[in-house]
């Protein structure tokens, strides 16, 4: 009896664990069987490669997709844009996977993220996949709109830890670099979003 219980709980624990893993990733396994593979573009020397063949980019820039996907009112524009691009034979879209400190921010302050906006990014990735469009996801920019480099410098300045007000301190200030590293550390979640679609 005691021996039986001794075995019962580990087995129950193991079964719960398997169930949890299945619930978390089961979708992914099922999707992979149903849908054809949508491989990542790789590089060989100066050549982009896709599934072993040369890949030539024919693309466009719609930086605003995640931002528009975050509001119900503007969300349909994401599909309309990707549909229009795909119809024109375009295969790659560059878009923002960042939005720092501004309206619909993905990162509202250093290390604080908005799940609603992550879901908006998921939506963009799912729509792109559905239209056979690959995404070039940018993680920061050099302008003021959508935060980017300027916003990182501003955060450090506001917290009194910035070494310089120069926008270029983004590249050398250790505090700012640590902010950006924190952001890069959430990229496993970005990657999880991506893998769900691959």
Ligand X SMILES: *[C@@H]1O[C@H](CO)[C@@H](O)[C@H](O)[C@H]1NC(C)=O
Residue 139 structure tokens: 């993680």
Closest CB 170 distance from ligand X, rounded Å: 10
Among 5, 44, 46, 53, binds ligand X (CB under 6 A): 44
What is the spatial distance between Cα 88 and Cα 107, in angstroms, rounded to a whole number? 33
Residue 119 structure tokens: 């879901």
Q: Residue 91: enclosing H or E segment and its boundaries?
A: none
Of 88, 69, 96, 66, the residue nearest 132 (C-alpha): 88
Q: Is 53 in the site for ligand X (CB under 6 A)?
A: no
34 or 43: CB nearest ligand X: 43
Closest CB 167 distance from ligand X, rounded Å: 4
Q: What residues between 138 and 157 interact with ligand X by CB under 6 A? A: 143-144, 150
Among 114, 130, 138, 167, binds ligand X (CB under 6 A): 167
What is the spatial distance between Cα 25 and Cα 100, in angstroms, rounded to a whole number? 30
Of 138, 128, 140, the residue nearest 196 (C-alpha): 128
Among 8, 12, 166, 188, binds ligand X (CB under 6 A): 166
Residue recorded with tokens 């719960």:
16
Q: Is 4 in the site for ligand X (CB under 6 A)?
A: no
What is the spatial distance between Cα 55 and Cα 47, in angstroms, rounded to a whole number? 8
80 or 165: CB nearest ligand X: 165
Q: Is 165 in the site for ligand X (CB under 6 A)?
A: yes
**Using the 8-state DSSP alphabet, how is residue 95 labeled?**
E
Q: What residues between 67 and 106 interact with ligand X by CB under 6 A? A: none
37 or 43: CB nearest ligand X: 43
The site for ligand X (CB under 6 A) is made up of: 44-45, 143-144, 150, 165-167
């Amino acid at each position: 009896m005691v021996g039986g219980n001794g075995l019962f709980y580990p087995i129950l624990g193991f079964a719960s664990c398997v169930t949890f893993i299945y619930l978390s990733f089961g979708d992914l396994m099922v999707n992979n069987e149903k849908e054809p593979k949508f491989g990542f573009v790789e590089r060989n020397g100066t050549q982009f490669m896709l599934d072993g063949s040369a890949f030539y980019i024919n693309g466009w820039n719609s930086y605003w997709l995640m931002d528009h996907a975050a509001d119900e009112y503007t969300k349909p524009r994401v599909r309309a844009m990707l549909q229009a691009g795909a119809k024109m034979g375009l295969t790659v879209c560059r878009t923002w996977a960042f939005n720092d400190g501004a309206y619909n921010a993905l990162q509202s302050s250093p290390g604080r993220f908005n799940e609603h906006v992550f879901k908006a990014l998921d939506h963009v990735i799912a729509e792109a996949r559905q239209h056979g469009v690959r995404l070039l996801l940018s993680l920061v920019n050099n302008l003021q709109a959508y935060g980017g480099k300027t916003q990182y410098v501003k955060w450090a300045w506001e917290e009194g830890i910035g070494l310089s007000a120069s926008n270029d301190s983004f590249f050398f200030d250790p505090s700012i670099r640590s902010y950006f590293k924190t952001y890069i550390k959430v990229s496993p979640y970005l990657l999880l979003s991506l893998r769900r679609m691959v």
